[in-house]
Structure 1
Amino acid sequence: MFRSLLAKTWLILALTVLAVLLCYTLIVTQFIILPVARQSADDQAALMKLAAETWVELPPYARSYYQLELAGQHLLLLTKTPPTTRPLLKSNMFLDMLTAALARRLETDIRLRLDKDDNNLVWASFDLPTGTVYIGFARERRAFPIPIAAILILTFASLLVLITSLTIVSRITRPLVAASRAARRIGKGLNFEPLDETGPEEMAVLARSFNKMGKEVRELLEHRTTLLAGISHDLRTPIARMQMAIELLDDGSNDELVERLKRNLTEMDTLIGDTLALSRGMEQAPLEALPPGPWLTDLVNSFQNDRLRLIRLTALPEKLMLPPLALKRVLTNLIENALRYSAPGPVTLEVTMQGPQITLTVLDRGPGIPAEAKAKIFEPFYRLEASRNKHTGGSGLGLAIVAQLCEMYNWHLAVLDNPAGGTMMQLSLLAESPDTEALPAPQS
């Protein structure tokens, strides 16, 4: 989830701001709120005790005026008539502190109770020598100020720092993201748009160096392609002359020798063609709207091999956007390998589609591929000599070309063991409908 530099930086900054706010809250609570709250509760308890003691000492005619004064100035209700109450089931920090302060001053247990008719009124009873006095006060009373302003200021400042930091990091990482995309295109042998060489000096220097490197890599690939094309042309010319000379041999020639020469020349021509295709800087072909069902049927029928079968495990849409030439080359190489190395066993092309992902699986009943060789078979000219010798044909470049095409189109090719024996080549790709936007590549 947090793979990019921007996402990781955002996470670190967010966690840092959260930690600062948490530490600030704990410090303010421990060294400001709690001490002030305890002092406020103790003052409230002292006031309530003094009010009760003063009230019982007053003559009866003055008590009503004293009650009005307490209610008006201190929001306290005082009476000798027991109020109708019920247990206080839900308390808060101030009420707990007040209960402890009253118990400490009166040297006896104090239980606060809730008024039966008014949920916001709390009563405390005082057992005095002259009788019991009941004092009521608001349940939500707060006799100490919470530094809300300071918390809001710190929160706003932290968010401002976070947003500013993210803006700066975003501007710094934007060129790096562009360089990362360009590097992936260069790695696939594709052309890339030169990076913008403006901005901070460090980024400008990096962009210039990267553009220079990309230009040199592109020129190197072009020179390599030109060189190999020239070599291919120079080699194919004498091969054509040798084939013509063989055709002009008289009837007294050794037929077996002539046939072997023809076969060797054909293999040389195929090897040259495959080598040139692998080294050529392949460009991504545009997508075309294809009917996947008929297109796959035509592909399988083109092999004209009774051992090859096409099985559709799920329904396929009428049209999908696909690169036909690249997909045909990949599937052709996979099917040809399966037919060549699993003879005389059957070969199956299974097709499934779930959502936008289409999976094409080529299954054979051949000798299989050892686990240690599954990653090496995509290397140019690598061969499994234990089960595949040079007489079976092939240039050793087919799977290398397949790997290059899969990387170019962000397809995923998995080499698995066939449960029935043999090998499964599973190709997964995201195919879009002609009426939808481009989809992201499947994750390998």
Structure 2
Amino acid sequence: MKARRTLLQQHTLGLMVAFVVLELVLAIVFLALLVVPLARRAADDLAGLVVLSAQTWSELPPETRPAFVEELRANHGLEIRQAHGSTTSPAVHPPFVYLFEQSINRRLPQSTHLLREQRAGEVWYWVNIPVGDRELAVGWPENRNDSKPLIALGVGLLCSLWLSWWSARWLARRIVQPLSSLGQAMAAVGEGGTPTLLPEDGPQELAAVSRQFNVMVQQVQVLLTARTTMLAGVSHDLRTPLTRMRLALELLRDTPTPALLDRMEREVERMNQLITQVMELARGLEAEPPQQLDLNMMFASLQEDFKDEKTPLQTRCDVGTVWAAPLALRRILSNLIQNAQRYASGHPVRLVSEPGLQGTRIGVLDQGPGIPLAELDRMQLPFQRLEASRNQDTGGFGLGLAIVRELAKANGWQLQWISPPEGGLQAWITLASRHEGQETLQSGYMSHLCEGTHRVASRPQLTDRTSSHRVV
């Protein structure tokens, strides 16, 4: 199988070809518009000077001709002598010779060719000029014109080719290096490693790609951490009731009693609650289609569900209907109400709805002890509790806030925590209008891992012990 070129090789080759084509075009333009016109003008000037010198020499008195020849040699690099046939004409001439022949033939009655002569280690060119009844040979050395435009052009092209190769290599490496780093980082992620975050510099497009990759890496790390925490929490919280059930089974073999059976039933119910809440947290990442919802009916249903609790639930509904996902909203409110009742210290918990600037606001308000602000972020992670023990009598499983947060993000709702001066905690959910809700639902689902909630204050552990008959 033929080996594929690397991206660096492809970009280098492409840029090199582009540079070479550009240089060839510039060289052609340079030759056609500058070098050739200047060379033709120089050939015309030299042809005119040669013809004029021969004619002047023939018209001068014999005694002044040597001085004239000396002046031509000193000032113009030309020599005049009687024409003779000891010269040779090579098959190939420099380009300037052909231009000179064209110019001189336009000034003479018959065409002629330059003759080449090796003289004292120098190359001379001679042309026979007919003057009257004789011919004069006018010559000049090959190095009379020190300029060598073709050599200069060739050297320039070689230097340009080298510079083009170096520039193409540098530009290609500059383009490919971020992509190569991105590929290595993605390979590290695929192997389960933790890559170093990419620098977010360079061109705007590459910086944007690096920025999005860094966000993705951080989100993957959050997911992996949440998975590890969830597995550890589930295994830990299941081990305790299983140990109690094993002990109860051993006791049942000796003395079966209804109390032991009730104890086993409670442990099974706790395990069922834990599994139910873990499934709720997993389902929280799935957006539910919204629909028109009657808040009065939902509030009445929730009040009926919680009427047997020691902490009373009071409702006030100032908004009749909203556009929202009913199951997700009910799960959020159920979790918040049970969390509030757990820490309300016997004071009533209020469930209210009111119109807001950005949509309908639904709040669960209690008068509990509150939570330190620095602990609120940690409390919204799975299996995190303010109280370090796993005692179910002093708190739930540590999933309540995590379920609420993920459900709100998946449905594009704004979650806000407010700690009033008089104490307690207020949890507010803002539901957008129908048109805005359809847009925020998509953006909320795509960014469910980003920290998008506005947190004003906190409270102690807000945990959830929602039973299956309360959370749909």
Greater relative CO, 1 or 2 (CA 8 Å, sep 6+): 2
- In the superposition, the TM-score normalised over structure 1's length comes to 0.42
Rg comparison, structure with higher value: 2
- In the superposition, the TM-score normalised over structure 2's length comes to 0.40
